[in-house]
Amino acid sequence: MVEQTRQNWDFRRFLDTLGFFGEIPFIGSFTWLQKLLGMKDDAILDSPNSPGVVLVAGATGGVGKRVVQRLHQQGIPVRGLVRNAQRGRELLGDEVDLVEADITLPETLTPKVFENIRAVICCTGTRVQPVEGDTPSREKYYQGVKFYLPEVAETPEYIEYQGVKNLVNAAKPYLKQRQNEKMIFDFRQPMPNFNSLWGAVDDVVMGGVSESGIRQISGAALFEGNVSTANSGGFASVRTRPLDQPLDLSDYEGIELRVRGDGNRYKFILRGDDRWDGISYCYSFDTVYNIWMTVRIPFAELIPNFRTKTIETAEPFPAATVTAFQLMLSKFEYDGELNPTFSAGGFRLELETMKAYGGPPLPQFIMISSAGVTRPGKPGLNLEDEPPAVRMNDQLGGILTWKLAGEDSVRESGVPYTVVRPCALTEDAGGKVLERDRGDTIKGQCSRNDIAQLCINLLNAPEDTNTTFEVREK
């Protein structure tokens, strides 16, 4: 039933609202003051935050162990694939999840290896050693610059080609299920700046008496309040202050909410500029009483609005500059239409997460190959100038030829990939600038530390999906 009464308007709450959002009537925005006071919006998670485990094959190797250690230190769930778990434990400690398998033996690549993975970093390689022998910790192999006459201790065809092919094909069914999404708010975790970022914007701003708020409860955020139609009002909402740094979500399709409501129809609203009362882009969604549900809001279906009036001439939502998020319960839909499920009174909507979904594919199989893989047998090549692996490809069991075949199996797999071809690997501390090239002509060296970090960075680099490149230190 619609209330027609007039009630006392709470001027204090009106001022509080405008104050929180950095607006004073007739004077305008004072967000500069809030910025000066250090009110930051770092409750926003601006790193891609795909769930799942990163599987590192070759986790006992020079690069592989560094990838595992770094991921672990960075709090990214990681699992090491090792041929020998005891050796893995000695190298990586007890905290890291390890699984025993041999990529040349498909029967060892069991579901347990791939459980809940989001990506694979493949650091495997044929064991190469000096003909004269090496120490147990392979010092001569790892130093990477002084030349020792090398030999292969295993068959490259099996490891570089068959093994890599086995691994990518076995991983494929598990990797297909992953979507590229970006977590914006994870309300399941405590957020220190929650209260300085989110505030209520109820119809008090136009004389109404509805009252709402949002707060963190255990495992969710709760938007609740009381909506009243007194004083010609009829909406309650919560909104973020204008973000210091607009979010660029232009690579994504829309926003996904995980909510539990009360049967009401709510509005989700985005803004693309920092005006307090500018165009809002709205999407209405229905909730089911006490049921958790996932709501997808495609940017393309947002309705441009100015105070519930549709702006036919507005540009599509500018997803490259997202400045504010808002949730609303309103008596009004758009252009004078009424919300069909609206009734005045108490309401509650819980939120677990707010994500951007439908982003470009991220690399999900990152393979460390080698510079030089296309050079053996290349006409006009001066072998004297080439690194040992190229010069001695035949003596080394065609190691580079089989690496190239392994790369091909990754490129043909249909899994979003990146193939990294490093020049000679060293044990240097790293921290050097890496330069990339294509065409497989460069020579040089790079630190295993830097290559490990590069592989980790690639997990979040959609621009590198389905690319192959050589790399060396500048």
Q: Phi and psi at residue 462, in whole multiples of 5°?
A: -60, -25
Is 398 a binding residue for ligand NAP by CB under 6 A? The answer is: no
If one asks whether residue 156 binds ligand NAP (CB under 6 A), the answer comes out as no
SS3 per-residue string spanning 305-372: EECCEECCCCCCCCHHHECEEEEEEECECCCCCECCCCCCEEEEEEEEEEEEECCCCCCCEEEECCCC
> Which listed residue (17, 34, 50, 60) binds ligand NAP by CB under 6 A?
60
Residues 130, 153: Cα–Cα separation, whole Å:
10
Residues 317-376 that bind ligand NAP (CB under 6 A): 368, 370
Contact assessment for residue 262 and residue 269, using Cβ atoms and an 8 Å cutoff:
no
CA angle 141, 146, 148 (to 5 degrees): 60
The answer to whether 84 contacts ligand NAP (rule: CB under 6 A) is: yes
Taking CB atoms, the residue at the shortest distance from ligand NAP is 61
* Stretch of 124-132, 176-184, 196-204, 346-354 contacting ligand NAP, by CB under 6 A: 124-132
Give the DSSP H/E element, type plus range, for residue 23. Answer: strand 23-24
Cβ 178 to ligand NAP, closest distance in Å? 23
**469-456-42-356 Cα dihedral, nearest 10 degrees:** 70
Residue 129 CB, nearest distance to ligand NAP (Å)?
A: 9
Q: For the chain, first and last CA: distance in Å?
A: 72
Crossing angle for the helix pair 164-175 and 399-411, to the nearest 10 degrees: 20
Q: Is 396 in the site for ligand NAP (CB under 6 A)?
A: no
Give yes or no for residue 104 binding ligand NAP (CB under 6 A): yes
Q: Is residue 329 a contact partner of residue 229, using CB atoms and an 8 Å limit?
A: no
Of these, 113, 123, 255, 282, which contacts ligand NAP (CB under 6 A)?
123
The nearest distance, CB 54 to ligand NAP, in angstroms, is 16
Span near ligand NAP by CB under 6 A; candidates 121-129, 226-234, 235-243, 288-296 = 121-129
Question: Under the criterion CB under 6 A, does residue 103 sit at the interface with ligand NAP?
Answer: yes
Q: Is 58 in the site for ligand NAP (CB under 6 A)?
A: yes
**Does the protein bind ligand NAP through residue 424 (CB under 6 A)?**
yes
Round to whole Å and give the CA distance between 323 and 279: 12
109 binds ligand NAP (CB under 6 A): no
Please state, as a whole number, how many other Cβ atoms lie within 10 Å of the Cβ of residue 192: 8
CA atoms of 58 and 125, how far apart (whole Å) = 7
For the chain, the residue count is: 474
Residue (123 or 297) nearer to ligand NAP, CB: 123
Query: Residue 83, interface with ligand NAP (CB under 6 A)?
Result: yes
Nearer to ligand NAP, 83 or 182 (CB): 83
- 22, 125, 156, 233: residue in contact with ligand NAP (rule CB under 6 A): 125
Q: Which residues bind ligand NAP (CB under 6 A)?
A: 57-58, 60-64, 83-84, 102-104, 123-125, 127, 144, 159, 163, 368, 370, 422, 424-425
